[in-house]
Amino acid sequence: MSEPAAPLQELEQLLADATGAIAQAQSAGQLEPLRVKFLGRKSRLAEIMKLIPRASPEERGEIGKRANQFKAAVESQLRERTVALAQRPTGPGIDVTLPGITTPQGRLHPITSTLGSILGLLTAMGFETIEGPELEYERYNFDALNIPRDHPSRESFDTFFVDTPSPEPKKGRLLLRSHTSPVQVRVMEQRKPPLRIVVPGKVYRPDPLDPSHSFMFHQVEGLMVDDRTSFADLKGVLDEFLRALFGANTKTRFRPHFFPFTEPSAEVDIACTSCSGVGCSTCGRKGWLEIMGCGMVHPNVFRAVGYDPERVQGFAFGMGVERIAMLKHGVTDIRLFFENDLRFLGQF
Ligand code: DAH
């Protein structure tokens, strides 16, 4: 009498098998063979149904009922799995809680962009950009700029001298240029006036590092030479330039100063960008910020390059790029520009 119980047990086992297989199917294409396997004409279900007429009358009803239940259960599981697979996002699973993949974005270094603004404004006024060597001869850095050997004015330009013997001893020792002014001399030696040039570049001075000093920094030099160039031209160009750089309401002040290569010479101040002239810690309570040096080219400089100081006039100016970048962006330590900390650089 164990035989009649067998179809019922088998149906139970078949349902467990079908439930597992349907749950694991990953596509509608995998469901169709399961339908054929569990419900089709050659399935175990079909064979069990065929046994019904031969079963005893009591068992007949039970097997028929269980077979129908099996069929309904498998059909409904197939339907549900079909819907679930259709709604599932395709491709690999997406974990929305994972942090996104960021692509780091490069940008210009604040010194590069400040230099770009300075050169952009001056070239728009007709100045041509020219570069010169960082390894320079004493003649260009000093002598031709009216800074003779043993003259006290040389002391204000502390300099890194280079050990390598000079390839041109007549031009003096080799050094790392301490300002961009030597390029004035190089250009005037090569060309005749009229000239309007701007010279960007690195300069070197043996200063101990502190918030406002670095042994390497950047300068922009300007030079204009023509048969008639006045201090008024100089003032007009620099006023215009500083207002374009720092804002249309920027106040400027020309204060008498001494530079060996210009006469007369001046330092140019702008009203403090932090306190507008009232006096604060940025301007040392003076209300003014020193921005650049300038003046009318000294006759001795013209003589050194073979120009006749009776027939040409010119003005020159020089500014520190780091200082301007610091004032524009409110940076209080020059060393930040050279440490390459991306948390700092990413702010510009
Ligand atoms: N060369 C000067 C320096 O490094 C800056 C300077 C001042 C340049 C006056 C000039 C000038 O051309 O006319 O401190």
The domain locations on the chain are: 2-87, 110-345
Closest atom of ligand 1 relative to the 297 alpha carbon: 13
Say what the pLDDT of residue 95 is: 81
Asked if residue 198 has its Cβ within 6 Å of ligand 1, the reply is no
Say what the pLDDT of residue 91 is: 67
Other C-beta atoms lying within 10 Å of the C-beta of residue 141: 26
Task: Give CATH for domain 110-345.
Answer: 3.30.930.10
Cα–Cα distances in Å, from 213 out to 176, 185, 220? 17, 26, 17
C-alpha of residue 293 to centroid of ligand 1, in Å: 5
Asked if residue 201 has its Cβ within 6 Å of ligand 1, the reply is no
Encoding tokens for residue 86?
């259709």
Distance CA 55, CA 48 (A): 10
Asked if residue 293 has its Cβ within 6 Å of ligand 1, the reply is yes
Probe ligand 1: pick from 186, 317, 322, max atoms within 8 Å of CB? 317
Say what the pLDDT of residue 104 is: 84
Say what the pLDDT of residue 56 is: 87
Closest atom of ligand 1 relative to the 223 alpha carbon: 12
C-alpha of residue 181 to centroid of ligand 1, in Å: 6
Q: Write out the chain's pLDDT in tens, 348 residues.
A: 445 458 889 999 999 999 999 999 998 899 999 999 999 999 999 999 998 888 888 888 889 999 999 999 999 999 999 999 888 766 677 788 888 888 888 999 999 999 999 999 999 999 999 999 999 999 999 999 999 888 776 776 789 999 999 999 999 999 999 999 999 999 999 999 999 999 999 999 998 999 999 999 999 999 999 999 999 999 999 999 999 999 999 999 999 999 999 999 999 999 998 898 899 988 889 999 999 999 999 999 999 999 999 999 999 999 999 999 999 999 999 999 999 999 999 999
Asked if residue 318 has its Cβ within 6 Å of ligand 1, the reply is yes
Probe ligand 1: pick from 181, 235, 315, 321, max atoms within 8 Å of CB? 181
C-alpha of residue 307 to centroid of ligand 1, in Å: 20
Q: Is the peptide bond before 33 cis (omega within 30 degrees of 0)?
A: no
Contact 325/337 with Cβ under 8 angstroms?
Answer: yes
Cut 0.75: pTM above it: no
C-alpha of residue 294 to centroid of ligand 1, in Å: 6
Ligand 1, atom 2, lies closest to the CA of 318
Say what the pLDDT of residue 2 is: 42
Say what the pLDDT of residue 51 is: 86
